[in-house]
Chain A
Amino acid sequence: MQEVENKTKCAVPAELVSFFAHPPIRTGENRHAYEQVRNGVIESFEPGNQFEWLLVLDLANLTWEIRSLGKDKADLVSLTRKEALRMILEAHLDDEPQERRSTARDRTANYVTKEGREWVIDFLGKHGLKEDAIAAQAAALRLPELEIVDRQLARARLSRMAIVRDFFEHRVAGFWKRPDEVLAIVDVKASVVPLDQPADQSTSAP
């Protein structure tokens, strides 16, 4: 029952559906997860008119973009881990250059196994390093890409903040509420305020 109610609340108005037929979901990304994010944003802001709907859907898209960019960063580092580990091993192994290269390659390939990983942790420990050094090296190798993704992330976060500001500014301004609508709201709110003074106060009043 609650779910049905939430679905109704999160349904995009019919006249706006065509404008949001293509959400920013890349191939392979989870559409269901996107919808969850979008519905979460809609529930938090409870858009009241078309204008608010547009801003809220934009917010949802930016939230999704921020998460996608975060995943891009993780993927960039993950994909470079092997290369980073190979470089660290090659720099710290004591063998001859040729042998060092092939040992580093083999050990890197074995890193995905339990024993291989234990060997790597042990080896790094002997050189005063932790496993995090691999991620750090991978990040250093992908610095130009990570810098651009960070810039995109910063821009998306700023845009999101600006939209939130606009959204509340619009609510304060009473945007599409005509004076008569505003007065109707004022009247409804005023009607719950008791006009008669409490008896004890009226008696004590001069």
Chain B
Amino acid sequence: MTTDRMIAANRRNGRRGRGPRTAAGKAASSRNSLRHGLAISLLDEPAACAKVESLAQAIAGAGADNARLSLARIFAEAQLDLARIQAVKVGMMDAHLEASASEGTTCGGEVTPNLQNDEAGLGNDDPSTGTVPPSIELLRQLLRLERYESSAIARRRRAIRALCCAATAMNGIG
């Protein structure tokens, strides 16, 4: 049976756990479920929007008509999406490297007679970082980014095709 003491304690605890109250706290908790932010469209962010526009202008060139500019915009958005995905991937790999380094699981300096670590010719700027192959968890996380990448590649490809068709029609080739 619930005693008065228990009810009072429940009320006290209930008053405590009501989530963030300040604007800063609310802003912080609103990002709790944010993983990489790739599901958010670039056009939802004003800064990214300006970047898309400036890249589209650079691609379309001066004096481009509206049709060319809008296709260039689609291309630019997909291109910047790909850059964003790439940055997330590199960030995840770096975080993994950092975590591995703190756990001491790198294999720098280990002799591997049959297989050269450096056979891909990538070298290593910083010998202290050693070699950290990706873990299965990291690889699975990277795999989850594939759908964003495929979508951006498909959008960009469609834009390129449309731009090429428009150019072919305009130049009377083909």
| Contacts of A1-27 to chain B: CB distance below 8 A | 15-16, 19-20, 22, 24-27
Kindly count the residue-residue contacts between A and B in the assembled complex, taking CB atoms under 8 Å apart: 171
Indicate if B38 sits at the interface (CB-CB under 8 A). Answer: no
How many residues does chain A have at the interface if contact means C-beta atoms less than 8 Å apart?
A: 60
Partner of B170, one of A15, A31, A117, A179: A179
Which residues on the B side are within 8 Å of A184 (C-beta)? none
| Contacts of B18-74 to chain A: CB distance below 8 A | 51, 54-55, 58-59, 61
Which residues on the A side are within 8 Å of B54 (C-beta)? 15
Q: With A149-B134, A149-B139 known to touch, is A27 a contact of B114 (CB < 8 Å)? A: no
Q: For the complex, give the distance between the alpha carbons of A182 and B118 in Å.
A: 48
**Are A27 and B115 within 8 A (Cβ)?**
no
Which residues on the A side are within 8 Å of B122 (C-beta)? 29-30, 33, 67-68, 71
Indicate if A170 sits at the interface (CB-CB under 8 A). Answer: yes
B interface, over-half SS: helix
A159, closest chain B residue (CB)? B153
How many residues does chain B have at the interface if contact means C-beta atoms less than 8 Å apart?
A: 65
**Are B167 and A175 within 8 A (Cβ)?**
yes
CB B117 to nearest CB in A, in angstroms, measures: 6
Residue from A72, A74, A135 having most chain B Cβ neighbours under 10 A: A74
Q: For the complex, give the distance between the alpha carbons of A74 and B131 in Å.
A: 10
| Contacts of B127-156 to chain A: CB distance below 8 A | 129-136, 139-140, 142-143, 146, 149, 153
Q: For the complex, give the distance between the alpha carbons of A66 and B23 in Å.
A: 45
Q: For the complex, give the distance between the alpha carbons of A113 and B113 in Å.
A: 10
Which residues on the A side are within 8 Å of B117 (C-beta)? 71, 74-75, 78
Indicate if B10 sits at the interface (CB-CB under 8 A). Answer: no
CB B43 to nearest CB in A, in angstroms, measures: 16
Stretch touching chain B among A50-58, A189-197, A198-206? A50-58
A146, closest chain B residue (CB)? B139
**Are A173 and B131 within 8 A (Cβ)?**
no
A-B contact pairs, 12 of them (CB 8 A): A19-B51, A22-B86, A74-B119, A78-B131, A79-B107, A79-B133, A145-B134, A166-B160, A173-B165, A173-B171, A173-B174, A174-B173
Give the 8 A-B residue pairs with the shortest CB-CB distance, closest first: A28-B129, A30-B123, A75-B133, A71-B120, A173-B164, A148-B139, A76-B133, A112-B111
